Amino acid sequence: MMCTPDATHDPNLSSWVESANEVDADFPIQNLPFGVFQRLDRAETPRVGVAIGNQILDLAACHALGLLDTLSEPVQAACVASALNDLMALGRAASLPLRHHLSQLLRMGHDTVAISQALVPMSQAQLLLPAQIGDYTDFYASIFHATNVGKLFRPDNPLLPNYKYVPIAYHGRASSIVPSGTPIQRPSGQWKRPDEAVPTFTRSQSLDYELEVGCFVGRGNELGQPIAIDQAEDHLFGLCLVNDWSARDLQAWEYQPLGPFLAKSFATTLSPWVVTMEALAPFRCPAFTRPAADPSPLPYLTALSNQEYGGIALTLEVLLTSTQMRQQNSPPLHISQSTFQQMYWTLAQMLTHHTSNGCNLRPGDLFASGTVSGMEPGSAGCLLERTQRGTQPILLPTGESRSFLEAGDEVILRGYCEQEGYTRIGLGECRGQVT
């Protein structure tokens, strides 16, 4: 079932947490994303929290204060866990009542005497990975990205014949997924210069980011039990931002015939807050309209609900700062903007395709969309496309230029949803600095 807007999305709601009511706040009371954090000033196990303005509502503290007593035992247990996997496993029947309860607790007019003890300023917390990620799969769902990159590597044959039939993906590495803010070490690897006959092993000279949307799996499926397309939304928990750091020189040398390996597995950065499918209900939109000449998806990837509401009106941005820019107090340079509406495949289609051979997904597994690029200029979701493989460098306000990332560069991804008649919600930020 597709989530539909309800009383928790009422734009007239405001919170007693004042910072949540600011215009353009990422985390107003209509959002209520989940994350996992640790306070900086004490040694404690990681705990589940909800972002509200610039504060975190500590759910373990809420539980200790008796504020979650009306919720079911399994939901209460999931709220005092040290990762979101248990909550994800419970599915919509648990996350929806919890959302309604949190909306009540945080709204203006609620008695704040007890609950204000459960607030932690975000500035005094370290935000961790939201879940224990068992498996990570990275799709390639933007036809604009696939075509642009295909042109650079294979000018005569940019889009391979399977693309319009199969949601293409590769299996990524879960162990090197890191939370926002983790320094990114430039990888070394094997690559071959075009003018040389043999490869060398050296530091990558073409380090890149990829702007992607990540989706956490909620309820899983049993091995051998595919998830039908009209059931797929029930298994999506929520979204975050993903930076799929990529070493283009390593990638070009290693990617055929089996796809990316060490060019990607050195690090993947996630934003800390998981915006639930419930929160995203007002921002659902039709799936991408394929050009008339394109084939329809095969029947197992086709459902009317997916066609009508499978898309998400989510705007995504990439910003960059260099060491020099920060020294000169120059604000981050906005280098691209794209929209998730233009993805060739929906999240439901990706999930259904993933399980169509009987592969089981588990709560807390992550899949990412692939680089989100659009058709307009300035909508390229990585430097490879943005600079045309380094031939058209970006000029920074300091006079520096960038073909690919250099030491000290920080990449900042942002995402937000806006819709007439509803309150804007954001995904927050996904940051990483190259060392």
Residue numbers at the binding site for Ca ion (CB under 5 A): 138, 210, 244
Query: 3-class DSSP state for residue 383?
Result: helix
Supply the minimum distance, in Å, between the C-beta of residue 207 and Ca ion: 14
Supply the minimum distance, in Å, between the C-beta of residue 22 and Ca ion: 33
The smaller minimum CB distance to Ca ion, of residues 142 and 352, is found at 142
For residue 199 the two structure tokens come to: 């490869």
Among 9, 63, 145, 353, the active-site one is: 145
Residue pair 114/126 in contact by the 8 Å Cβ criterion: no
Provide the residue count of the chain: 435
Supply the minimum distance, in Å, between the C-beta of residue 244 and Ca ion: 4
Query: 3-class DSSP state for residue 202?
Result: strand
The smaller minimum CB distance to Ca ion, of residues 34 and 367, is found at 367
For residue 69 the two structure tokens come to: 């007593």
Supply the minimum distance, in Å, between the C-beta of residue 18 and Ca ion: 38
For residue 184 the two structure tokens come to: 């990114």
Which residue in the shown chain puts its C-beta closest to Ca ion?
A: 244
Residue 390, Cα to own-chain centre: how many angstroms?
26
How far apart CA 123 and CA 175 sit, in angstroms, is 27
Burial class (CB in 10 A: 0-12, 13-18, 19+), 199: middle
Comparing C-alpha atoms, which of 180, 187, 268, 128 is closest to residue 435?
A: 187
Supply the minimum distance, in Å, between the C-beta of residue 246 and Ca ion: 7
The smaller minimum CB distance to Ca ion, of residues 86 and 210, is found at 210
The smaller minimum CB distance to Ca ion, of residues 138 and 365, is found at 138
Supply the minimum distance, in Å, between the C-beta of residue 212 and Ca ion: 6
Residue pair 344/142 in contact by the 8 Å Cβ criterion: yes
Please enumerate in sequence order all residues whose Cβ is within 8 A of that of 377, keeping only pairs 6 or more positions apart, or say none.
none
φ/ψ (deg, to 5) at 415? -150, 145
Supply the minimum distance, in Å, between the C-beta of residue 300 and Ca ion: 24
How far apart CA 78 and CA 386 sit, in angstroms, is 42
Query: 3-class DSSP state for residue 333?
Result: strand
Supply the minimum distance, in Å, between the C-beta of residue 162 and Ca ion: 17
The smaller minimum CB distance to Ca ion, of residues 3 and 383, is found at 383
Residue 145 annotated to the active site:
yes
How far apart CA 213 and CA 338 sit, in angstroms, is 11
Residue pair 102/50 in contact by the 8 Å Cβ criterion: yes
The smaller minimum CB distance to Ca ion, of residues 172 and 220, is found at 172
Supply the minimum distance, in Å, between the C-beta of residue 94 and Ca ion: 31
The owner of tokens 């935000």 is 127
The smaller minimum CB distance to Ca ion, of residues 129 and 141, is found at 141
Q: Count the Cβ atoms, other than its own, within 10 Å of residue 54.
A: 16
Residue 240, Cα to own-chain centre: how many angstroms?
3
How far apart CA 122 and CA 133 sit, in angstroms, is 23
The smaller minimum CB distance to Ca ion, of residues 83 and 372, is found at 372
Q: Which helix or strand (DSSP H or E) is residue 215 part of?
A: strand 211-217
CA-to-CA separations, 140 to 370, 373, 389, in angstroms, rounded: 4, 11, 18
Give the alpha-carbon dihedral of 112, 117, 121, 122, to 10 degrees.
-100
The smaller minimum CB distance to Ca ion, of residues 77 and 262, is found at 262
Residue pair 385/288 in contact by the 8 Å Cβ criterion: no
Supply the residues annotated as catalytic.
Answer: 145
